[in-house]
Amino acid sequence: MQVRQIDNIDNDAHKIYNLVCITHTKTAISKLVEFNEQCRANKTGFILAETLGAAGYIFVDFGDKHIITDLDGEPCKQFILSGITQDEKGQVHVHEDKRHSF
Quick check: 42 pLDDT over 60?
yes
The answer to whether position 44 is within a domain reads yes
Which parts of the chain are beta strand (E)?
A: 19-23, 45-52, 55-61, 81-84, 92-94
Q: What is the mean pLDDT of residues 30-50?
A: 91
The answer to whether position 87 is within a domain reads yes
Q: What is the domain extent for residue 87?
A: 13-63+72-94
Please state the pTM of the whole predicted model.
0.64
The answer to whether position 86 is within a domain reads yes
Calculated CA dihedral for residues 91, 94, 95, 98, nearest 10 degrees: -160
The answer to whether position 1 is within a domain reads no
Number of domains in the chain: 1
The answer to whether position 25 is within a domain reads yes
pLDDT for 61: 94
